[in-house]
Amino acid sequence: MRNPTNVIAAGLSLAMVFTLSYTASCTATRDKAADTKAATDSIRQQVAKYTAALDAADINLASQVWRTTADVSFIHPGGHAHGWEEIKGIYSFFGSSFSERKLTARDVSVHVNGDTAWVEFYWHFDAKQSKDGSPVQTDGRESQVYEKAGDRWELVHGHYSSPVVPQ
């Protein structure tokens, strides 16, 4: 015959293990959700900096968004920039080609997966050409890939294109 005290103690121990496991699981889920929200917020701030850097044609501000190494890339209608040195040239081009620039991102969607994330958005660009002040307006869509380095999300790849034109 079993000792009732031992049976009760074993049952209580088992209940405590389940309770601790459940609590740890809930805490981990809350922590993951909080981490994802913090990452999403940080990346949205990077997208805002990205547009501000283009508006100002500011390479220093752009370097706070982009990873400044040779392995980054940017695909755009004018070509394919490989490495930070080539990407910097895009900011210089916008600075010399347009006297005024305003890039507006909308419908920004951020997807976080651990230390990697991708962003999708549509954009509208208003500018004035430097040579004669004539207005320029373009629309497009863009996807970006970010990687977390330390406590910072860095843009490692961008790809933009014009919107699909219905036929």
Q: Look up the pTM and report it.
A: 0.80
For residue range 51-102, list pLDDT tens digits in order: 999 999 999 999 999 999 999 999 998 899 999 999 999 999 999 999 999 9
**Residue 67, SS3 per DSSP:** coil
CA distance 57 to 125: 13
For residue 40, CA distances in Å to 53, 117, 149, 160 come to 20, 9, 15, 21
Q: Are 116 and 138 in contact (CB under 8 A)?
A: no
Which residues, in sequence order, are bridge partners of residue 66? 155
Helix, strand, coil percentages (3-state) for the chain, rounded to 5, are: 45, 40, 20
Domain borders along the chain are 34-161
The architecture CATH gives domain 34-161:
Roll (3.10)
For residue 107, CA distances in Å to 66, 93, 113, 145 come to 21, 26, 20, 16
For residue range 91-145, list pLDDT tens digits in order: 999 999 999 999 999 999 999 999 999 999 999 999 999 999 999 999 999 999 9
pLDDT of residue 20: 47
